[in-house]
Structure 1
């Protein structure tokens, strides 16, 4: 019926401020979308519904390991329902065909690369395209999609937009950033994921015990490096305030970084909340070398090569 794709992300810089009253932390992060992507299709069923969710099931295939929920707790399912609820709120009762979500995952699961957010973003644009086109209704537009995305998760607005951007607030207050050239990354994933809330909680705990974990909320040097297209300058700007917490919870990630550093110098960090580690490389060949070398020495890891920046979520069929 309709197919959309959305890309994963890497946090080139992630500054984490104090916890806010709403439970989230204040962030200053530089996102870059990457070539790894998930593809989502809405497949028409035979029945119809005039209220409630039109989704009757979910099928998942994947090129990456990890468990993906296939019920209404899945973020993509929730995204479809959010768009449907919006349209019904604007236009009254709409009788819809039942649909099945078919999802192919190419973004590592629970790896801090916004795989679930990508599924939600793809579901948002696919459902909006379907309802606006088939029923002759006004589409949500960028602002409407962004507002629904922000209600689904902090990373969903960026994945919806793509490119390179500065994220403030929860990471959903976005300012596009100039980025020249193509950047090549070796991505090392782990068989065992890390819970994002647990990593933030560990950072709070570590900051109570140590005085050397100040927030890094300034991103001017990253902006200068990206606008120049200089690989060396950007390498020196890689930073993640969550890295000490991720390493505390998963000490074996230190080995991943050490092996990667032996091949690439100090050009690697834990990405986002982890456990994925990323290494910025001068070219694709170098990235392939690291993506092969680290798993050969560190059991329980896999390597892949991606490039960025990539685009935002978009309908492809």
Structure 2
């Protein structure tokens, strides 16, 4: 008698891109890190990770047409695999898992796509194997992987301090419309921070608090929020890539309330007054020769489970 093998169990998790509404950067510390005071927002651009028990560990990749698969780190260097190794070691389990990764978050664009994949992997592993890890443990593991990974678990709008990994959710009842313009030419985050150090050798030990922005978020008024958007890394990023400054100026001429470099760049984001306003900015930027221009709303949920078909 032949016994049919059971189909492998799979778990799918969706995680969102992040943008920084405020990114305050302090002077570099002796350990090489910069203290941050930032306000994150998760927006409606997503990566999906499906994890399946398998006979070997690996990644199967599918990308949106505006993402070059060659830009995705190989399995040996991918943060999702590092997340898998970390949570497996924590759980004390043996075995292997395959990750089917569908990427729509721009790569190396300051939008934490890798961090989203890592957060999704932690959550998927916990569900797939019934580990029952607490939120606190998941956040601790996330912080070991990178500054943006804890926020990718939390989502919504949140304040990040320390290196960005100490996350405090914020009450944000607004609906904000964003246009994002990724760049096919990357921009090294360490290079941007080093340039910040050169440009601001007397930076404060601790960055200023985003009090005005927090008040603007509570108001729900797009114009008020636009006036308080801030990024200490924008100047260094534009100094290294002047085309980003030109792009921001163009987006604002096309009707955006405010343009901003996302994190360390090179993606630029534009706050708009409405969905219709966002469509008008998209049309203007595409007319100016930018072929990849994306619309997303925020805030959206952090990493969360999807039902498999």
Q: Same fold by TM (over 0.5)? A: yes
Q: Deviation per CA, 1:252-308, whole angstroms, max 9, x where unpaired?
A: 112101111102255111110011111110111211221232243245x52000000
Pair 1:312 & 2:302 matched: yes
Q: Give 1:124 shift.
A: 0.6
Report how many aligned residue pairs link the two structures. Answer: 295
* SS of equivalent to 1:165: strand
Match of 1:200 in 2: 193
CA contact (8 A) 1:27 1:217 kept: no
Match of 1:82 in 2: 86
Change (3 A) 1:95 1:152: closer
Q: Deviation per CA, 1:43-72, whole angstroms, max 9, x where unpaired?
A: 332x3xxxxxx62x2111111323102312
Match among 261, 282, 286 for residue 291 of structure 1: 282
CA contact (8 A) 1:256 1:298 kept: no
Q: Give 1:227 shift.
A: 1.1
CA contact (8 A) 2:36 2:207 kept: no
CA contact (8 A) 1:17 1:25 kept: yes
Gaps of 5+ in 2: 1-9
* Runs of 4+ off more than 2 Å: 211-216
Pair 1:220 & 2:211 matched: yes
Distance 2:31 2:146 in 1: 14
* SS of equivalent to 2:129: helix
CA contact (8 A) 1:14 1:30 kept: yes
Match of 1:91 in 2: none
Please give the TM-score of this superposition, normalised by the length of structure 1. 0.89
Match of 1:62 in 2: 63
Gaps of 5+ in 1: 48-53, 89-93
Q: Deviation per CA, 1:145-179, whole angstroms, max 9, x where unpaired?
A: 00000000000000110011111110011111111
Distance 2:23 2:287 in 1: 29
Match of 1:19 in 2: 28
